[in-house]
Amino acid sequence: MPTPTKGPRLGGGPAHERLMLANLAASLFEHKRITTTVTKAKRLRPYAERLITFAKKGDLASRRRVLGVISSKSIVHELFTDIAPAVANREGGYTRITKIGNRKGDNAPMAVIELVLEPMSAKQSVVAEAEQAKAPAAAAAPAAESVDSPESADSVDSVDSAESAASADEVAAEDTTVDAEAGSADEVVVVEGTVEDEKK
């Protein structure tokens, strides 16, 4: 037995409710926005979004399922050719409900339900661009790793060691000049980069 929906049923019976939701969905797809009561808008939202999800699949079976609900072929054609491509990048949330106050006659709370056809927000587009930029960067990473090969690392180490040895020779040469100027009794001999003190 099917699980009953939450809240009061729309219309007089289940068949009336099904036809009412189908007509509301057809009007929403035709006019892109409709004004109705808040209760009907909340019940219409998941119903219409499911039909849009079928339209995004775009195959023949999905088209036949939507035609089983909405009998107008022109509205179904518009749903599959215009609305579905416009929301192709969205993962859901194809409709928006905006409350507009109460109706004048019976004080029923009213709302406008509309399709969200504008492009994604700036934040979502920035995230999408970042993901697209990350894909080429990931492809370029293996090429960068091949440049930093072990041989190049060894050559860098050898250059660093040669520079440090040259700086040590310069320091040793400065020490010998200082000692010679001081006229100390010790004689300084430099043999292949090492400093040896020999006393007379």
Residue 157 within a domain: yes
On whether both 27 and 115 belong to a single domain, the answer is yes
Residue 4 backbone zone (phi > 0: left; psi -120 to 50: alpha; other: beta): beta
Is 108 in the same domain as 170?
no
Report the pLDDT value the prediction gives residue 97, as an integer from 0 to 100: 96
- pLDDT reported for residue 1: 63
Of 102, 119, 136, which residue sits at a domain end? 119
CB 199 within 8 A of CB 186: yes
Assess if residue 68 is contained within a domain: yes
Those residues whose C-beta lies under 8 Å from the C-beta of residue 63, and which sit 6 or more positions away, are 54, 76, 80
pLDDT at 188: 46
Q: pLDDT (tens digit, 0 to 9) for every residue of the chain, 200 residues total?
A: 667 666 677 888 889 999 999 999 999 999 999 999 999 999 999 999 999 999 999 999 999 999 999 999 999 999 999 999 999 888 889 999 999 999 999 999 999 999 998 877 667 777 777 888 887 777 766 655 555 544 544 544 554 555 555 555 665 555 554 454 444 444 444 445 444 555 44
Structural domain includes residue 137: no
> Would you say residue 61 lies in a domain?
yes
Do 69 and 28 share a structural domain?
yes
> Tell me, what's the pLDDT at 129?
78
CA distance 124 to 159: 48
In a domain, 131, yes or no: no
Q: What pLDDT, on the 0 to 100 scale, is given for residue 123?
A: 73
> 183 and 92, same structural domain?
no
Could you list the residue range(s) of the whole structural domain that residue 19 is in?
A: 14-119
List, as one string, the DSSP characters of 106-157: T--EEEEEEE--SPPPHHHHHHHHHHHHHHHHHHHHHHHHHHS-HHHHHHHH
CA-CA distance, 191 to 193, in Å (whole number)? Answer: 6
Task: Mark which of 101, 119, 137 sits at the end of a domain.
Answer: 119
Structurally, how many domains does the chain consist of?
A: 2
Q: Can you give the CATH number for the domain in which 113 is found?
A: 3.90.1030.10
- Is 145 inside a domain boundary? no
Chain centre distance of CA 61: 31
Residues 154 and 194 in one domain: yes
Task: Please say whether the beta carbons of 129 and 121 come within 8 A.
Answer: no
The residue to which tokens 């006659």 are assigned: 105
Residue type, 78: E
User: Is residue 162 one of the residues assigned to a domain?
Assistant: yes
129 part of a folded domain: no
pLDDT (0 to 100) of residue 103: 94
**At which residue do the structure tokens 């209760």 appear?**
39
Q: Are residues 158 and 115 in the same domain?
A: no
